[in-house]
Amino acid sequence: MGTVAQFPGPGQNGHQNPGNIPQQTVFIRAELTRIMDLYGRMVSAGHWRDYAIDHHRDVAIFSAFRRSAERPEFRIEKRPALRNRQGMWTLFSENGAVLRRGHELGPVLSPVERRLLKLVAD
């Protein structure tokens, strides 16, 4: 038969990810489902046309665009390092102003959901 060699994972060999430091901050499935559901409803309303997802070591960012050539209309950031302070979720406007911060995703997305209700009502 063959020999099974163990694939080196994080923290092995002493140089890859020492300790328990995350390589990337990512959205988990439930968070991404909630964000993409809102995105889909905004696309159906004809307001958003494109999105981008960025994963960095300390932050995960979801950006929603009216057109792909513009700055994002809204930016949702997840920063786990701020979990015990003002909350790891932040909603930014197009000009970079903080619209809402919080510990949970739902209340942070509420200004965008209210805007969706206004778009559908018109």
Instruction: Kindly report the average pLDDT of the chain as a whole number.
Output: 82
Q: Is residue 12 part of a domain?
A: no
The SS3 of residue 86 is coil
pLDDT at 9 over 70: no
Total domains in the chain come to 1
To which H or E segment does residue 37 belong?
helix 29-44
0.85 cut: is pTM over it?
no
- CB-count exposure of residue 109 (10 Å: 0-12, 13-18, 19+): buried
Q: Is residue 89 part of a domain?
A: yes
Share of the chain above pLDDT 70, in %: 80
Q: Is residue 74 part of a domain?
A: yes
Amino acid, res. 122: D
Q: Is residue 6 part of a domain?
A: no
Residue range 86-100: average pLDDT? 90
Q: Which value, to the nearest 10 degrees, does the dihedral of the CA atoms of residues 73, 46, 42, 80 take?
A: -30
| Residue 20 binned pLDDT confidence (cut-offs 50, 70, 90) | low
More confident residue, 65 or 18: 65
Q: Name the packing angle between helices 105-121 and 29-44 (round to 10°).
A: 10
Per the structure, the complete domain to which residue 115 belongs is given by: 23-121
Q: What is the separation of C-alpha 88 from the centre of its chain, rounded to a whole number of angstroms?
A: 10
| Residue 75 binned pLDDT confidence (cut-offs 50, 70, 90) | very high
Q: Is residue 102 part of a domain?
A: yes
Q: Is residue 59 part of a domain?
A: yes
Q: Is residue 91 part of a domain?
A: yes
Q: Is residue 30 part of a domain?
A: yes
